Protein backbone atom coordinates (compact mmCIF):
# COMPACT_ATOMS: atom_id res chain seq x y z
CA UNK A 1 0.00 0.00 0.00
CA UNK A 2 1.44 3.31 -1.09
CA UNK A 3 0.88 6.21 1.26
CA UNK A 4 0.88 9.70 -0.23
CA UNK A 5 -0.95 12.96 0.16
CA UNK A 6 -1.63 12.95 -3.59
CA UNK A 7 -2.35 9.95 -5.77
CA UNK A 8 -3.11 10.09 -9.46
CA UNK A 9 -5.14 6.87 -9.35
CA UNK A 10 -6.90 5.93 -6.12
CA UNK A 11 -7.23 2.51 -4.48
CA UNK A 12 -8.94 -0.37 -6.24
CA UNK A 13 -12.28 -0.16 -4.46
CA UNK A 14 -12.88 3.36 -5.81
CA UNK A 15 -12.75 1.99 -9.35
CA UNK A 16 -15.24 -0.74 -8.48
CA UNK A 17 -17.57 1.80 -6.87
CA UNK A 18 -17.37 4.11 -9.90
CA UNK A 19 -18.46 1.33 -12.23
CA UNK A 20 -21.17 -0.05 -9.93
CA UNK A 21 -22.74 3.35 -9.22
CA UNK A 22 -22.83 4.17 -12.95
CA UNK A 23 -25.28 1.35 -13.71
CA UNK A 24 -29.00 1.75 -13.14
CA UNK A 25 -30.38 0.09 -10.02
CA UNK A 26 -27.07 -1.39 -8.87
CA UNK A 27 -26.00 -1.06 -5.24
CA UNK A 28 -22.43 -1.38 -3.99
CA UNK A 29 -21.45 -2.37 -0.46
CA UNK A 30 -17.96 -1.47 0.62
CA UNK A 31 -16.39 -3.54 3.39
CA UNK A 32 -14.20 -0.85 4.89
CA UNK A 33 -13.45 1.27 7.94
CA UNK A 34 -15.20 4.59 8.45
CA UNK A 35 -13.55 7.19 6.24
CA UNK A 36 -13.14 5.03 3.15
CA UNK A 37 -16.64 6.03 2.11
CA UNK A 38 -15.42 9.46 0.88
CA UNK A 39 -16.47 8.26 -2.58
CA UNK A 40 -20.07 9.23 -1.76
CA UNK A 41 -19.10 12.82 -1.06
CA UNK A 42 -16.77 12.98 -4.07
CA UNK A 43 -19.39 11.72 -6.51
CA UNK A 44 -22.24 13.84 -5.25
CA UNK A 45 -20.07 16.97 -5.28
CA UNK A 46 -18.22 16.56 -8.58
CA UNK A 47 -21.03 15.04 -10.62
CA UNK A 48 -23.57 17.30 -8.87
CA UNK A 49 -25.86 14.32 -8.40
CA UNK A 50 -29.37 14.97 -7.14
CA UNK A 51 -29.87 11.46 -5.79
CA UNK A 52 -28.03 9.60 -3.07
CA UNK A 53 -25.06 7.62 -4.32
CA UNK A 54 -25.98 3.89 -4.25
CA UNK A 55 -23.03 2.91 -2.07
CA UNK A 56 -23.16 1.60 1.51
CA UNK A 57 -20.19 1.14 3.83
CA UNK A 58 -20.17 -2.03 5.91
CA UNK A 59 -17.97 -0.58 8.62
CA UNK A 60 -14.92 -2.47 9.84
CA UNK A 61 -14.58 -1.49 13.52
CA UNK A 62 -13.18 -2.92 16.76
CA UNK A 63 -16.15 -5.26 17.13
CA UNK A 64 -15.49 -6.71 13.67
CA UNK A 65 -11.84 -7.16 14.54
CA UNK A 66 -12.84 -9.08 17.65
CA UNK A 67 -15.67 -11.26 16.35
CA UNK A 68 -15.41 -11.27 12.55
CA UNK A 69 -17.70 -9.54 10.09
CA UNK A 70 -19.71 -12.31 8.44
CA UNK A 71 -22.99 -11.56 10.18
CA UNK A 72 -22.63 -7.84 9.65
CA UNK A 73 -21.84 -8.06 5.93
CA UNK A 74 -24.59 -10.59 5.21
CA UNK A 75 -27.08 -8.50 7.17
CA UNK A 76 -26.11 -5.36 5.22
CA UNK A 77 -26.56 -7.15 1.89
CA UNK A 78 -29.97 -8.59 2.76
CA UNK A 79 -31.13 -5.28 4.25
CA UNK A 80 -30.23 -3.33 1.08
CA UNK A 81 -31.94 -6.03 -0.98
CA UNK A 82 -35.19 -5.44 0.90
CA UNK A 83 -34.88 -1.63 1.06
CA UNK A 84 -33.62 -0.76 -2.42
CA UNK A 85 -34.68 -3.78 -4.52
CA UNK A 86 -31.61 -3.46 -6.76
CA UNK A 87 -30.99 -5.71 -9.75
CA UNK A 88 -27.43 -6.30 -8.56
CA UNK A 89 -25.48 -5.88 -5.32
CA UNK A 90 -21.69 -5.75 -5.55
CA UNK A 91 -19.58 -6.36 -2.46
CA UNK A 92 -16.16 -4.78 -2.75
CA UNK A 93 -13.32 -5.42 -0.29
CA UNK A 94 -10.73 -2.80 0.55
CA UNK A 95 -7.11 -2.98 1.57
CA UNK A 96 -8.13 -2.78 5.22
CA UNK A 97 -10.71 -5.55 5.02
CA UNK A 98 -8.30 -7.74 3.02
CA UNK A 99 -5.88 -7.66 5.95
CA UNK A 100 -8.49 -9.55 7.97
CA UNK A 101 -8.22 -12.46 5.51
CA UNK A 102 -11.95 -13.08 5.59
CA UNK A 103 -13.68 -15.22 2.99
CA UNK A 104 -15.92 -12.56 1.42
CA UNK A 105 -16.98 -14.93 -1.38
CA UNK A 106 -18.56 -17.15 1.30
CA UNK A 107 -20.38 -14.07 2.63
CA UNK A 108 -21.73 -13.41 -0.87
CA UNK A 109 -22.83 -17.02 -1.29
CA UNK A 110 -24.74 -16.89 2.00
CA UNK A 111 -26.40 -13.57 1.16
CA UNK A 112 -27.38 -14.80 -2.32
CA UNK A 113 -29.57 -17.49 -0.78
CA UNK A 114 -31.63 -14.87 1.04
CA UNK A 115 -31.60 -12.08 -1.57
CA UNK A 116 -33.80 -11.63 -4.62
CA UNK A 117 -31.09 -9.43 -6.14
CA UNK A 118 -28.05 -10.84 -7.87
CA UNK A 119 -25.03 -10.62 -5.54
CA UNK A 120 -21.39 -10.78 -6.67
CA UNK A 121 -17.99 -10.08 -5.13
CA UNK A 122 -15.72 -7.67 -6.97
CA UNK A 123 -12.97 -10.00 -8.14
CA UNK A 124 -9.94 -7.69 -8.06
CA UNK A 125 -6.63 -7.90 -6.26
CA UNK A 126 -6.79 -4.80 -4.12
CA UNK A 127 -3.10 -4.94 -3.32
CA UNK A 128 -1.87 -5.13 -6.91
CA UNK A 129 -4.15 -2.89 -8.96
CA UNK A 130 -5.18 0.74 -8.85
CA UNK A 131 -8.52 2.46 -9.36
CA UNK A 132 -8.51 2.34 -13.18
CA UNK A 133 -7.41 -1.30 -13.43
CA UNK A 134 -10.06 -2.33 -10.90
CA UNK A 135 -12.75 -0.42 -12.81
CA UNK A 136 -11.79 -2.20 -16.03
CA UNK A 137 -11.87 -5.61 -14.33
CA UNK A 138 -15.16 -4.93 -12.53
CA UNK A 139 -16.88 -3.86 -15.75
CA UNK A 140 -15.69 -7.01 -17.51
CA UNK A 141 -16.82 -9.13 -14.56
CA UNK A 142 -20.35 -7.68 -14.62
CA UNK A 143 -20.64 -8.08 -18.40
CA UNK A 144 -19.41 -11.67 -18.21
CA UNK A 145 -21.81 -12.47 -15.33
CA UNK A 146 -24.92 -11.38 -17.25
CA UNK A 147 -23.84 -12.88 -20.56
CA UNK A 148 -23.28 -16.24 -18.84
CA UNK A 149 -26.58 -15.85 -17.02
CA UNK A 150 -28.37 -15.29 -20.34
CA UNK A 151 -26.75 -18.40 -21.78
CA UNK A 152 -27.87 -20.50 -18.82
CA UNK A 153 -31.41 -19.17 -19.12
CA UNK A 154 -31.49 -20.06 -22.84
CA UNK A 155 -32.05 -16.45 -23.78
CA UNK A 156 -32.46 -16.32 -27.55
CA UNK A 157 -30.32 -13.22 -27.95
CA UNK A 158 -27.08 -14.89 -27.00
CA UNK A 159 -28.06 -18.40 -27.94
CA UNK A 160 -28.70 -21.49 -25.93
CA UNK A 161 -25.94 -23.09 -23.93
CA UNK A 162 -26.34 -26.08 -26.22
CA UNK A 163 -25.77 -24.01 -29.38
CA UNK A 164 -22.55 -22.97 -31.02
CA UNK A 165 -22.32 -19.28 -30.22
CA UNK A 166 -18.59 -18.72 -29.81
CA UNK A 167 -18.10 -17.26 -33.27
CA UNK A 168 -21.24 -15.21 -33.26
CA UNK A 169 -23.42 -17.78 -34.99
CA UNK A 170 -27.11 -17.51 -34.31
CA UNK A 171 -26.80 -14.05 -32.80
CA UNK A 172 -29.61 -11.69 -33.70
CA UNK A 173 -27.97 -8.48 -34.90
CA UNK A 174 -29.63 -5.09 -35.26
CA UNK A 175 -31.01 -4.40 -38.74
CA UNK A 176 -28.98 -1.22 -39.14
CA UNK A 177 -25.32 -0.75 -38.17
CA UNK A 178 -24.98 -0.26 -34.41
CA UNK A 179 -22.28 -0.02 -31.78
CA UNK A 180 -21.80 -0.43 -28.05
CA UNK A 181 -19.78 2.27 -26.29
CA UNK A 182 -17.71 1.09 -23.34
CA UNK A 183 -16.10 3.12 -20.57
CA UNK A 184 -18.45 6.08 -20.05
CA UNK A 185 -18.87 6.23 -16.27
CA UNK A 186 -19.06 8.47 -13.24
CA UNK A 187 -16.18 10.82 -12.33
CA UNK A 188 -14.69 10.38 -15.78
CA UNK A 189 -12.99 13.41 -17.34
CA UNK A 190 -15.64 15.14 -19.51
CA UNK A 191 -17.25 11.75 -20.10
CA UNK A 192 -20.81 13.04 -20.41
CA UNK A 193 -19.76 15.64 -22.97
CA UNK A 194 -17.65 13.13 -24.90
CA UNK A 195 -20.53 10.65 -24.96
CA UNK A 196 -22.88 13.26 -26.41
CA UNK A 197 -20.37 14.21 -29.10
CA UNK A 198 -19.64 10.57 -29.91
CA UNK A 199 -23.34 9.84 -30.34
CA UNK A 200 -23.65 12.82 -32.68
CA UNK A 201 -20.66 11.65 -34.72
CA UNK A 202 -22.01 8.11 -35.03
CA UNK A 203 -25.45 9.43 -36.01
CA UNK A 204 -23.80 11.39 -38.83
CA UNK A 205 -22.22 8.12 -39.99
CA UNK A 206 -25.58 6.31 -39.96
CA UNK A 207 -24.70 4.17 -36.94
CA UNK A 208 -27.09 3.75 -34.01
CA UNK A 209 -26.18 3.19 -30.37
CA UNK A 210 -27.02 -0.25 -29.04
CA UNK A 211 -25.86 0.19 -25.42
CA UNK A 212 -23.66 2.62 -23.48
CA UNK A 213 -21.77 0.82 -20.73
CA UNK A 214 -21.93 1.39 -17.79
CA UNK A 215 -23.35 4.92 -17.48
CA UNK A 216 -27.13 4.76 -17.32
CA UNK A 217 -27.26 1.13 -18.42
CA UNK A 218 -29.44 -1.53 -16.81
CA UNK A 219 -27.62 -4.79 -16.08
CA UNK A 220 -30.54 -6.66 -17.58
CA UNK A 221 -29.73 -5.04 -20.92
CA UNK A 222 -26.22 -6.48 -20.94
CA UNK A 223 -27.56 -9.58 -22.65
CA UNK A 224 -28.23 -7.29 -25.64
CA UNK A 225 -24.56 -6.45 -26.14
CA UNK A 226 -23.94 -9.12 -28.82
CA UNK A 227 -26.68 -7.57 -30.98
CA UNK A 228 -24.37 -4.67 -31.90
CA UNK A 229 -22.21 -4.83 -35.03
CA UNK A 230 -19.07 -3.69 -33.20
CA UNK A 231 -17.80 -2.14 -29.97
CA UNK A 232 -16.11 1.20 -29.28
CA UNK A 233 -13.65 1.75 -26.43
CA UNK A 234 -12.81 5.50 -26.49
CA UNK A 235 -10.62 5.38 -23.36
CA UNK A 236 -8.22 2.52 -22.95
CA UNK A 237 -8.30 2.76 -19.15
CA UNK A 238 -11.79 1.24 -18.81
CA UNK A 239 -13.73 -1.02 -21.17
CA UNK A 240 -10.92 -2.82 -22.98
CA UNK A 241 -11.25 -6.06 -20.99
CA UNK A 242 -15.00 -6.23 -21.65
CA UNK A 243 -14.48 -5.60 -25.38
CA UNK A 244 -11.86 -8.36 -25.58
CA UNK A 245 -14.22 -10.75 -23.79
CA UNK A 246 -17.00 -10.06 -26.31
CA UNK A 247 -14.57 -10.47 -29.19
CA UNK A 248 -13.53 -13.87 -27.85
CA UNK A 249 -17.08 -15.05 -27.18
CA UNK A 250 -18.93 -13.60 -30.17
CA UNK A 251 -16.23 -12.46 -32.62
CA UNK A 252 -17.33 -8.85 -32.12
CA UNK A 253 -14.74 -6.41 -33.52
CA UNK A 254 -13.82 -3.43 -31.40
CA UNK A 255 -12.16 -0.06 -31.99
CA UNK A 256 -9.73 1.41 -29.46
CA UNK A 257 -8.59 4.47 -31.43
CA UNK A 258 -9.61 7.54 -29.44
CA UNK A 259 -11.27 10.07 -31.79
CA UNK A 260 -9.44 13.02 -30.24
CA UNK A 261 -7.96 15.60 -32.60
CA UNK A 262 -8.56 15.84 -36.34
CA UNK A 263 -6.11 13.13 -37.39
CA UNK A 264 -7.22 10.45 -34.94
CA UNK A 265 -10.90 11.24 -35.49
CA UNK A 266 -10.38 10.55 -39.20
CA UNK A 267 -8.54 7.31 -38.36
CA UNK A 268 -11.40 6.33 -36.04
CA UNK A 269 -13.99 6.85 -38.80
CA UNK A 270 -11.93 4.90 -41.34
CA UNK A 271 -11.59 2.01 -38.88
CA UNK A 272 -15.39 1.90 -38.61
CA UNK A 273 -15.65 1.82 -42.41
CA UNK A 274 -13.09 -1.00 -42.64
CA UNK A 275 -15.17 -3.08 -40.18
CA UNK A 276 -18.41 -2.48 -42.07
CA UNK A 277 -16.80 -3.30 -45.43
CA UNK A 278 -15.61 -6.76 -44.45
CA UNK A 279 -16.86 -9.34 -46.99
CA UNK A 280 -18.52 -11.54 -44.38
CA UNK A 281 -20.05 -8.70 -42.40
CA UNK A 282 -23.85 -9.04 -42.28
CA UNK A 283 -25.77 -7.65 -45.22
CA UNK A 284 -24.42 -5.54 -48.01
CA UNK A 285 -27.40 -3.23 -48.51
CA UNK A 286 -25.47 -0.40 -46.94
CA UNK A 287 -22.86 1.68 -48.70
CA UNK A 288 -20.15 3.13 -46.53
CA UNK A 289 -17.92 5.89 -47.89
CA UNK A 290 -16.98 8.35 -45.20
CA UNK A 291 -14.15 10.22 -46.99
CA UNK A 292 -16.39 13.08 -48.11
CA UNK A 293 -17.70 13.42 -44.56
CA UNK A 294 -14.16 13.50 -43.12
CA UNK A 295 -13.08 16.10 -45.67
CA UNK A 296 -16.13 18.33 -45.12
CA UNK A 297 -15.89 18.16 -41.32
CA UNK A 298 -12.17 18.82 -41.30
CA UNK A 299 -12.17 21.74 -43.73
CA UNK A 300 -15.50 23.49 -43.18
CA UNK A 301 -17.23 22.39 -39.96
CA UNK A 302 -14.37 22.11 -37.45
CA UNK A 303 -12.43 25.33 -36.97
CA UNK A 304 -9.33 23.57 -35.61
CA UNK A 305 -7.74 22.77 -39.00
CA UNK A 306 -8.07 26.37 -40.22
CA UNK A 307 -6.97 27.80 -36.90
CA UNK A 308 -3.81 25.66 -36.77
CA UNK A 309 -2.66 27.38 -39.96
CA UNK A 310 -3.61 30.90 -38.88
CA UNK A 311 -1.09 33.55 -37.88
CA UNK A 312 -2.29 33.30 -34.26
CA UNK A 313 -1.49 29.61 -34.00
CA UNK A 314 1.80 30.12 -35.83
CA UNK A 315 2.95 32.01 -32.75
CA UNK A 316 2.91 28.68 -30.91
CA UNK A 317 5.38 27.04 -33.30
CA UNK A 318 8.37 25.74 -31.38
CA UNK A 319 7.03 26.71 -27.97
CA UNK A 320 7.87 24.18 -25.25
CA UNK A 321 5.14 22.19 -23.52
CA UNK A 322 4.89 19.32 -21.03
CA UNK A 323 2.02 16.81 -21.15
CA UNK A 324 1.08 14.47 -18.30
CA UNK A 325 -2.07 12.50 -17.49
CA UNK A 326 -3.76 9.17 -18.03
CA UNK A 327 -2.53 7.15 -21.02
CA UNK A 328 -5.44 8.01 -23.31
CA UNK A 329 -5.52 11.77 -22.85
CA UNK A 330 -1.78 12.33 -22.47
CA UNK A 331 -0.98 10.44 -25.68
CA UNK A 332 -3.77 12.12 -27.66
CA UNK A 333 -2.92 15.65 -26.49
CA UNK A 334 0.77 15.04 -27.21
CA UNK A 335 -0.02 14.08 -30.80
CA UNK A 336 -2.41 17.01 -31.25
CA UNK A 337 0.08 19.58 -29.95
CA UNK A 338 2.95 18.18 -31.98
CA UNK A 339 1.48 17.30 -35.38
CA UNK A 340 -1.61 19.54 -35.51
CA UNK A 341 -0.45 22.73 -33.75
CA UNK A 342 3.34 22.74 -34.15
CA UNK A 343 4.08 22.86 -30.42
CA UNK A 344 7.29 21.23 -29.19
CA UNK A 345 6.40 18.65 -26.54
CA UNK A 346 9.55 18.40 -24.43
CA UNK A 347 8.17 15.64 -22.23
CA UNK A 348 5.07 13.44 -22.38
CA UNK A 349 4.19 11.27 -19.43
CA UNK A 350 1.55 9.12 -17.81
CA UNK A 351 0.81 7.71 -14.39
CA UNK A 352 -0.67 4.54 -15.94
CA UNK A 353 2.41 2.41 -15.37
CA UNK A 354 0.55 -0.73 -16.37
CA UNK A 355 0.12 0.73 -19.86
CA UNK A 356 3.68 2.03 -20.22
CA UNK A 357 4.60 0.06 -23.37
CA UNK A 358 1.52 1.19 -25.28
CA UNK A 359 2.05 4.80 -24.21
CA UNK A 360 5.69 4.81 -25.34
CA UNK A 361 4.67 3.40 -28.70
CA UNK A 362 2.08 6.15 -29.16
CA UNK A 363 4.21 9.21 -28.28
CA UNK A 364 7.82 8.27 -29.02
CA UNK A 365 7.86 10.20 -32.31
CA UNK A 366 6.06 13.25 -30.95
CA UNK A 367 8.10 14.30 -27.91
CA UNK A 368 11.69 14.72 -26.72
CA UNK A 369 11.43 12.49 -23.65
CA UNK A 370 8.94 10.18 -21.92
CA UNK A 371 8.18 9.93 -18.19
CA UNK A 372 6.28 6.99 -16.69
CA UNK A 373 5.63 7.53 -12.99
CA UNK A 374 2.88 7.79 -10.40
CA UNK A 375 5.05 9.98 -8.15
CA UNK A 376 3.98 13.61 -8.52
CA UNK A 377 7.30 14.88 -7.10
CA UNK A 378 9.12 13.39 -10.10
CA UNK A 379 6.70 15.18 -12.40
CA UNK A 380 7.28 18.43 -10.50
CA UNK A 381 11.05 18.09 -10.75
CA UNK A 382 10.79 17.40 -14.48
CA UNK A 383 8.65 20.51 -15.05
CA UNK A 384 11.00 22.68 -12.96
CA UNK A 385 13.96 21.39 -15.01
CA UNK A 386 12.39 21.90 -18.45
CA UNK A 387 10.64 25.21 -17.66
CA UNK A 388 8.05 24.86 -20.43
CA UNK A 389 5.90 27.70 -21.72
CA UNK A 390 2.77 25.71 -20.82
CA UNK A 391 1.73 22.50 -19.06
CA UNK A 392 -1.09 20.17 -20.06
CA UNK A 393 -1.88 17.80 -17.21
CA UNK A 394 -4.04 16.87 -14.25
CA UNK A 395 -5.08 19.07 -11.38
CA UNK A 396 -1.77 18.26 -9.70
CA UNK A 397 0.20 19.68 -12.62
CA UNK A 398 -2.00 22.75 -12.38
CA UNK A 399 -0.90 23.17 -8.75
CA UNK A 400 2.74 22.69 -9.76
CA UNK A 401 2.35 25.25 -12.54
CA UNK A 402 0.93 27.85 -10.17
CA UNK A 403 3.97 27.52 -7.89
CA UNK A 404 6.30 27.95 -10.86
CA UNK A 405 4.30 30.67 -12.67
CA UNK A 406 3.69 28.35 -15.63
CA UNK A 407 0.15 28.22 -17.12
CA UNK A 408 -1.56 24.83 -17.20
CA UNK A 409 -4.43 23.45 -19.23
CA UNK A 410 -6.18 20.53 -17.50
CA UNK A 411 -6.59 17.59 -19.88
CA UNK A 412 -6.98 14.54 -17.67
CA UNK A 413 -8.32 13.20 -14.39
CA UNK A 414 -7.78 13.55 -11.47
CA UNK A 415 -9.43 16.96 -11.44
CA UNK A 416 -11.33 19.29 -9.17
CA UNK A 417 -14.86 20.57 -9.63
CA UNK A 418 -13.94 23.34 -12.10
CA UNK A 419 -13.21 20.63 -14.64
CA UNK A 420 -16.72 19.21 -14.38
CA UNK A 421 -18.22 22.06 -16.44
CA UNK A 422 -21.94 22.61 -16.76
CA UNK A 423 -21.49 23.81 -20.34
CA UNK A 424 -20.72 21.62 -23.32
CA UNK A 425 -16.98 20.82 -23.39
CA UNK A 426 -16.26 17.57 -25.23
CA UNK A 427 -12.74 16.40 -26.07
CA UNK A 428 -13.82 13.81 -28.66
CA UNK A 429 -14.87 14.33 -32.26
CA UNK A 430 -14.76 17.48 -34.35
CA UNK A 431 -16.24 19.74 -31.70
CA UNK A 432 -13.70 18.26 -29.28
CA UNK A 433 -10.93 19.29 -31.70
CA UNK A 434 -12.19 22.88 -31.43
CA UNK A 435 -12.27 22.74 -27.64
CA UNK A 436 -8.74 21.32 -27.42
CA UNK A 437 -7.40 23.93 -29.86
CA UNK A 438 -8.91 26.69 -27.70
CA UNK A 439 -7.54 25.14 -24.52
CA UNK A 440 -4.05 24.79 -25.99
CA UNK A 441 -3.95 28.30 -27.41
CA UNK A 442 -5.30 29.97 -24.27
CA UNK A 443 -2.96 28.02 -21.98
CA UNK A 444 0.10 29.80 -23.36
CA UNK A 445 1.10 33.30 -22.23
CA UNK A 446 1.20 35.02 -25.58
CA UNK A 447 3.14 38.02 -26.83
CA UNK A 448 3.15 41.04 -24.53
CA UNK A 449 0.09 39.94 -22.58
CA UNK A 450 1.50 40.22 -19.08
CA UNK A 451 3.58 43.28 -19.89
CA UNK A 452 0.61 45.18 -21.24
CA UNK A 453 -1.46 44.29 -18.21
CA UNK A 454 1.26 45.69 -16.02
CA UNK A 455 1.49 48.91 -18.01
CA UNK A 456 -2.22 49.62 -18.15
CA UNK A 457 -3.12 48.34 -14.70
CA UNK A 458 -5.28 45.52 -13.53
CA UNK A 459 -2.41 43.12 -13.02
CA UNK A 460 -1.72 41.57 -9.65
CA UNK A 461 1.48 43.34 -8.65
CA UNK A 462 1.89 42.03 -5.11
CA UNK A 463 5.46 40.99 -4.43
CA UNK A 464 6.20 37.31 -4.04
CA UNK A 465 9.74 36.75 -2.93
CA UNK A 466 10.07 33.09 -3.86
CA UNK A 467 8.00 30.58 -5.74
CA UNK A 468 9.54 27.15 -5.64
CA UNK A 469 8.36 23.62 -5.15
CA UNK A 470 9.85 23.64 -1.67
CA UNK A 471 7.68 24.64 1.26
CA UNK A 472 10.50 26.73 2.67
CA UNK A 473 12.89 29.10 0.89
CA UNK A 474 16.58 29.12 1.75
CA UNK A 475 17.21 32.34 -0.18
CA UNK A 476 16.63 36.02 0.55
CA UNK A 477 16.53 38.90 -1.91
CA UNK A 478 18.14 42.21 -1.06
CA UNK A 479 16.02 45.33 -1.43
CA UNK A 480 18.15 46.55 -4.36
CA UNK A 481 17.79 43.24 -6.19
CA UNK A 482 14.01 43.31 -5.72
CA UNK A 483 13.89 46.78 -7.25
CA UNK A 484 15.98 45.56 -10.18
CA UNK A 485 13.73 42.50 -10.56
CA UNK A 486 10.63 44.72 -10.71
CA UNK A 487 12.07 46.57 -13.72
CA UNK A 488 12.05 43.37 -15.79
CA UNK A 489 8.93 42.91 -18.00
CA UNK A 490 6.39 40.63 -16.38
CA UNK A 491 6.26 38.05 -19.14
CA UNK A 492 9.91 37.07 -18.55
CA UNK A 493 10.32 38.06 -14.87
CA UNK A 494 9.40 34.66 -13.48
CA UNK A 495 11.92 32.85 -15.66
CA UNK A 496 14.72 35.26 -14.76
CA UNK A 497 13.85 34.95 -11.07
CA UNK A 498 13.98 31.14 -11.22
CA UNK A 499 17.29 31.20 -13.14
CA UNK A 500 18.80 33.55 -10.59
CA UNK A 501 17.70 31.42 -7.64
CA UNK A 502 18.97 28.29 -9.38
CA UNK A 503 22.35 29.94 -9.90
CA UNK A 504 22.50 31.09 -6.27
CA UNK A 505 21.80 27.60 -4.95
CA UNK A 506 24.44 26.10 -7.23
CA UNK A 507 27.00 28.58 -5.87
CA UNK A 508 25.90 28.03 -2.25
CA UNK A 509 24.75 31.63 -1.79
CA UNK A 510 22.12 32.60 0.80
CA UNK A 511 21.39 36.16 -0.38
CA UNK A 512 20.66 37.40 -3.88
CA UNK A 513 22.13 40.80 -4.65
CA UNK A 514 22.34 42.79 -7.88
CA UNK A 515 25.80 41.33 -8.50
CA UNK A 516 24.40 37.82 -8.19
CA UNK A 517 21.63 38.70 -10.67
CA UNK A 518 24.18 39.90 -13.26
CA UNK A 519 26.38 36.85 -12.63
CA UNK A 520 23.39 34.55 -13.19
CA UNK A 521 22.57 36.42 -16.41
CA UNK A 522 26.09 35.89 -17.72
CA UNK A 523 26.03 32.23 -16.71
CA UNK A 524 23.09 31.48 -19.02
CA UNK A 525 24.55 33.61 -21.79
CA UNK A 526 21.79 36.19 -21.72
Is 300 in contact with 371 (CB distance < 8 Å)?
no
Using only C-alpha atoms, what is the Rg of the chain? 27
Q: Which residues contact 271 (CB under 8 A, 6 or more apart)?
A: 255, 257
pLDDT of residue 467: 47
State the fold for domain 131-256. Answer: Rossmann fold (3.40.50)
Beta strands across the sheet bearing 344-350: 369-372, 344-350, 320-325, 390-393, 408-410
Is 229 in contact with 178 (CB distance < 8 Å)?
yes
pLDDT of residue 325: 97
Distances 65 to 56, 62, 75, 100 between C-alpha atoms, Å: 19, 5, 17, 8
Per-residue pLDDT reduced to its tens digit, 121-157: 998 887 789 999 999 999 999 999 999 999 888 665 5
What does the alpha-carbon distance between residue 285 and residue 267 come to, in Å, rounded to a whole number?
Answer: 24
pLDDT of residue 35: 73
312 is catalytic: yes
Asked if the 476-523 domain carries CATH number 3.40.50.300, the reply is no
DSSP label at 425?
Answer: -
Question: Coil, helix or strand for 122?
Answer: coil
State the fold for domain 305-443. Answer: Rossmann fold (3.40.50)
pTM of the model: 0.83
Q: Do the domains at 12-129 and 476-523 have one common CATH topology?
A: no
pLDDT of residue 492: 74
Is 514 in contact with 480 (CB distance < 8 Å)?
yes
Could you tell me the end-to-end alpha-carbon distance of the chain, in angstroms, rounded to an integer? 48
Which regions of the chain are under pLDDT 50? 1, 160-168, 459-468, 470-472
pLDDT of residue 465: 41
Query: Which listed residue (312, 474, 480, 515) is catalytic?
Result: 312
pLDDT of residue 366: 97
Which region holds residue 455: left if phi is over 0, alpha if psi is between -120 and 50, else beta?
alpha
Q: Which residues contact 171 (CB under 8 A, 6 or more apart)?
A: 157, 158, 159, 165, 226, 227, 250
pLDDT of residue 160: 42
What does the alpha-carbon distance between residue 130 and residue 124 come to, in Å, rounded to a whole number?
Answer: 10
pLDDT of residue 41: 82
Per-residue pLDDT reduced to its tens digit, 22-73: 999 999 998 877 777 788 888 888 888 777 888 888 777 666 665 667 778 8
State the fold for domain 12-129. Answer: Rossmann fold (3.40.50)
What does the alpha-carbon distance between residue 504 and residue 502 come to, in Å, rounded to a whole number?
Answer: 5
Is 253 in contact with 263 (CB distance < 8 Å)?
no
Is 340 in contact with 302 (CB distance < 8 Å)?
no
Domain borders along the chain are 12-129, 131-256, 305-443, 476-523
Distance of CA 396 to the CA centre of its chain: 14
Is 16 in contact with 135 (CB distance < 8 Å)?
yes
H or E element, residue 179: strand 178-184
Q: Is the dihedral of CA 340, 436, 187, 141 positive or negative?
A: negative
The phi, psi pair for 523, rounded to 5°, reads: -65, -35
Amino acid sequence: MKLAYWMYAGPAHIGTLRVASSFKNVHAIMHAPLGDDYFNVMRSMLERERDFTPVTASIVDRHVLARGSQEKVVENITRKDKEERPDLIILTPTCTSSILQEDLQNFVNRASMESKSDVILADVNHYRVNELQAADRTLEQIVRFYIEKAKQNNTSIVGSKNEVFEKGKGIEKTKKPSANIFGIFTLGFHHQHDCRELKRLLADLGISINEIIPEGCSVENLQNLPKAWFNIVPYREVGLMAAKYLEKEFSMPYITTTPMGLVDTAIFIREIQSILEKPDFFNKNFQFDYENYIDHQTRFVSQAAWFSRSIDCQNLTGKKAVVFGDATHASSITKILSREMGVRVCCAGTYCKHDADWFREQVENFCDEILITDDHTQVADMIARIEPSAIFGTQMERHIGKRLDIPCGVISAPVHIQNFPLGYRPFLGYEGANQIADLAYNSFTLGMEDHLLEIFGGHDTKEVITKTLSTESDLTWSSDSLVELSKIPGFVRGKIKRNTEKYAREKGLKEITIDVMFAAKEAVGA
